[in-house]
Chain A
Amino acid sequence: MLYNNNATHIRRELLVKLASLAFEGTLREKIDRVPLEMIPKGQPSVRCCIHHDRAVIKYRLLAMMGFAIEKETDELRPLSSYAEEALTRTAVEDPLLTVIDEACSACVQSHYFVTNACKGCVARPCVLNCPKKAIQMVNGQARIDPSLCVNCGLCQKVCPYHAIVKVPVPCEEACPVGAISKDPQGKEHIDFTTCIYCGKCMSECPFGAIMERSQMLDVIRALQSGNRIVALVAPAIPGQFPGDYPQLVTALKMLGFTDVYEVAQGADETIEREAEELVERIHKGEPFMTTSCCPAYTRCAHIHIPELKPYISTTKSPMLYTAEQVKQQTPESFIVFIGPCVAKKEEALRSGVVDFVLNTEELGALLVAKEIDVPHCEPASILNTPSAAAKSFPIVGKVSQAVWEKVKEQEKGVQVRPLVVDGIDRQNLKILRQAVKTKPDGNLIEVMACQGGCVAGPTTISKPMVAVKKIEDWIRKSTVRMNAPQEETTAVGVRS
């Protein structure tokens, strides 16, 4: 989509400020001033007044320091006091999303509305078709009585003038599992027993009211601790920054990471084992198997489609295999997973092997705060880079393709018929439920919560198309001359 989201811009600017103060060691002293610096006197306000704007900035900073807004007990407690707590805590906690009630505009409950385009026609299909008799003509135009309307949408469908619109609540509309809803004051709340951490509400809220509780400060502290800190870089990440992947590796080391691993390394193990598992299941006569690498999908299936559970591959995710490999080689390592996903944070928290998760924007903020420009970094020489199939995991359709090709390579007699569920929404959830009841056409079903795959994850910076191209570039470069010194260091930006 071609537009700049101002809420995204503000969030990134704040992340950079927070990271700069944390690196400088002046967070406690300076953080209370940040809302004033961001919204100086005399500037036109976005909300009712600059004080409201500043309050929202304060709460954004709270979430960025890892706190849940819902748990605030004293409104007078200054940011500096939270900073103190964040800089001394020893563990991060869930839930990983939080709603800023001050930012939530308490959108009017999703409803249908007759606009002025209504001509008050003679046919009046809206009046005639409304099953609840909720529409009457008032002053020559249709009017819906909200106390009778059940939001079925029939009137909108039948209006010959397209005069009836649906006014949605964007976060509720985006949530595929109905986990976000209004409290009596009209503010949104997330039910974390049913939330699948897909991050769609966060991406869709035009007020930026839903935020991740960031672990960025914990990562900065780890980087400054002198311990061995290992970055596990999701295969989506090479598509997210200017410059190429070997340059990003150098940038990560400049930030203080001791070592950098591609999570695609674990993806190679996932492919291997998932192919074996699929063959075994087909031999047993099972109708199909679904992939298991998308944590929002597996959580979704466990909570919302339990009948699908037996069909989910028990193979672990690339992140877990990579983390286990690192822990085996260097048990003293702290592991930081870097990816575009919210649900991975939840998977990491449960895993016991991954210590922290940094999202794409947060990594960007660390680089900007440290004034590290990726395209200016010397490319690192990368040995033993994973396969092209593993590196393609973040692109929709490529996980099932990789498993399929692996089976073809090893078990020539087994027929694999891949199917792809591209994005979890209400429609696709129905399809998945149906798959359990009726035998689906495919026997290997790939499910990605984000439409397009991880390249379209909730915290991505690049547009998905650009990200795919950059990932393909990295695959080409790494397979053509895996160990040869890099010649092109000027590949900057993207021509579209």
Chain B
Amino acid sequence: MERSNHDRKIHVVICSGTTCYLMGAAELFGIEKALEESLASRISIEGSPCMNLCKGGSYGKAPFVKVNDTLIATATVPKVIEEIRRQAAM
């Protein structure tokens, strides 16, 4: 039987290259504290080495965050939370 989507883990990867870190990634660690317990327990947060998305500008601007497969450019606390909620509701 397929697992219910509501148990599916949400994996948040925060790029921690120097550029992303300076441009706001440093503020994103601890983001789970802004979520209610039932949702916070479903997400895992991890820092990643530079994902090389900042070079050239074709992916947008730093900081970059991936919520499962969705890439967020110029990531902010509200943007990341919105995406987490969107995926949680799927």
Contact = CB atoms under 8 A, between A and B. Distances in A.
Interface of A: 2-4, 8-9, 12-13, 16, 241-243, 251, 361, 364-365, 367-368, 371-376, 461-463, 465-466, 490, 492-496
19 contacts: A2-B30, A2-B31, A4-B76, A12-B23, A364-B18, A368-B18, A368-B19, A371-B55, A373-B18, A375-B18, A375-B49, A375-B50, A376-B49, A462-B26, A465-B30, A490-B49, A493-B16, A493-B48, A494-B16
B71 interface: no
Interface in B39-74: 45-50, 55, 61
B47 A242 contact: yes
B18 A241 contact: yes
Contacts of B45: 495-496
Interface of B: 14, 16-19, 21-24, 26-27, 29-31, 33-34, 45-50, 55, 61, 76-77
Given A463-B26, A494-B29, A496-B30, A374 B48 contact: no
Contacts of B31: 2
A492 B48 contact: yes
A47 B14 CA distance: 31
A496 B49 contact: no
A479 B61 CA distance: 39
B49 A461 contact: no
B16 A2 contact: no
Nearest to A8: B24
A496 B17 CA distance: 17
Given A4-B76, A241-B18, A495 B46 contact: yes
B56 to A, nearest CB: 11
A9 B23 contact: yes
A466 B17 contact: no
Contacts of B30: 2, 463, 465, 496
A492 B45 CA distance: 13
A436 B49 CA distance: 52
A38 B45 CA distance: 32
Nearest to A1: B27
A462 B22 CA distance: 9
A466 B5 CA distance: 33
Nearest to B55: A371
Given A3-B77, A243-B18, 19 more contacts: A3-B27, A4-B27, A9-B23, A13-B23, A16-B22, A242-B21, A364-B21, A365-B22, A371-B55, A373-B17, A373-B50, A374-B18, A461-B26, A462-B26, A492-B48, A493-B29, A495-B47, A496-B30, A496-B45
A495 B76 CA distance: 18
Contacts of B21: 241-242, 364, 461
A183 to B, nearest CB: 34
A2 B76 CA distance: 10
Nearest to B80: A4
A206 B55 CA distance: 30
A364 B23 CA distance: 9
A371 B55 CA distance: 9
Contacts of B19: 368, 373
A222 B30 CA distance: 38
B27 A493 contact: no
Contacts of A465: 30
Given A2-B77, A493-B46, A495-B45, A375 B17 contact: yes
Nearest to A376: B50
B26 A492 contact: no
A249 to B, nearest CB: 14
B18 A463 contact: no
Given A4-B76, A376-B50, A466 B29 contact: yes
A208 B75 CA distance: 20
